[in-house]
């Protein structure tokens, strides 16, 4: 009987330790970049086992909680997904991720004249960040708090930092989409064909004459050629 009790007790201890080890949290962190040492801000980091997601910051740094043997997947538009398996049981596991550029187009999307490369990439970006963009904005804490009223603790206050980060990402996403559209039309190849500029001169001209989003959005292709020509004449005259 005593032997049975001891075995039972040891079994309970082992089960308890196993549960504690399984629930132990690891902070996985590091920097996400590509083979050209270009950091990748707003890359999506997903813990496949828990469903938790986070984004890398402006410097490409990420942080996500996990347990040992959890699979972490890194995704960024235009790059092949990368995966790591958490090896530590507790503490901080630092893993720098180097992502590899993928093909131009989305799998499963029919490539035809119906979509431009920009539109296809835009659809992929929208799909990747939809879980943030579709999340409605919530009130921020302290917006109507009178001065001198002190700190008010509430569920809204608790999540204000995350809410601000979400709103900032939405603003950055809008700016990024506009820049991607401009870059898809105001290309070095097109400017070179119109002006004949190359190398540093080409880069300098494009920097000095980077078009406004609303302007380039309103220009048909032929008018864009005339616009570049006029800008080049003015730029050369200087």
pLDDT of residue 117: 81
Considering only residues 47 and 146, tell me which one the structure prediction assigns the higher pLDDT.
47
Mean pLDDT of 37-55: 89
What are the beta bridge partners of residue 85?
A: 71
Cα dihedral 137, 127, 168, 213 in deg (nearest 10) = -110
Instruction: Name which of 106-110, 116-120, 197-201 the model is least confident about.
Output: 106-110
pLDDT in tens, 80-101: 899 999 999 999 999 999 998 8
pLDDT in tens, 214-231: 999 999 989 999 999 999
pLDDT of residue 157: 45
Q: pLDDT above 90 covers what percent of the chain?
A: 43
pLDDT in tens, 127-176: 888 888 888 888 766 554 444 334 344 444 445 777 888 888 888 889 98
User: How many other β-carbons are positioned within 10 Å of the β-carbon of residue 7?
Assistant: 10
Residue 238 to residue 233: CA distance in whole angstroms? 9
pLDDT of residue 152: 40
pLDDT of residue 85: 94
pLDDT of residue 23: 56
Of 87, 92, 74, 72, the residue nearest 34 (C-alpha): 74
pLDDT at 4 over 80: no
What b/e readout covers 58-95, taking b as 16+ CB neighbours within 10 angstroms?
Answer: eebebebebbbebebebbbbebeebebebeeeeeebeb
> pLDDT band for position 18 (50/70/90)?
low
Evaluate whether the domain defined by 25-99 bears CATH number 3.40.50.720.
Answer: no
Which residue ranges make up each domain of the chain?
25-99, 117-237
pTM: 0.61
């Amino acid at each position: 009987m005593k032997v049975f009790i001891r075995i039972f007790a040891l079994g309970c201890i082992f089960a308890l330790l196993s549960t504690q080890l399984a629930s132990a949290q690891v902070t996985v962190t590091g920097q996400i970049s590509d083979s050209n040492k270009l950091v990748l801000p707003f890359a999506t980091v997903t813990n496949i086992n828990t469903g938790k997601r986070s984004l890398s910051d402006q410097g490409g740094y990420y942080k996500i909680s996990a347990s040992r043997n959890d699979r972490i997947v890194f995704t960024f538009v235009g790059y092949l997904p990368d995966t790591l398996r958490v090896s530590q049981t507790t503490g901080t596991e630092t893993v720098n991720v180097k992502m590899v550029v993928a093909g131009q187009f989305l799998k499963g999307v029919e490539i035809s004249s119906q979509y431009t490369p920009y539109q296809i990439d835009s659809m992929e970006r929208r799909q990747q960040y939809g879980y943030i963009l579709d999340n409605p904005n919530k009130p921020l804490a302290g917006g109507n708090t009178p001065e001198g009223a002190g700190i008010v603790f509430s569920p809204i206050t608790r999540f204000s930092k995350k809410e601000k980060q979400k709103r900032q990402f939405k603003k950055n996403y809008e700016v990024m989409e506009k820049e991607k559209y401009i870059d898809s039309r105001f290309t070095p190849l097109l400017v070179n064909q119109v002006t004949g500029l190359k190398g540093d001169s080409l880069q300098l001209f494009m920097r000095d004459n980077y078009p406004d989003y609303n302007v380039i959005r309103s220009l048909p292709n032929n008018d864009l050629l005339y616009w570049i020509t006029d800008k080049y004449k003015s730029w050369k005259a200087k």
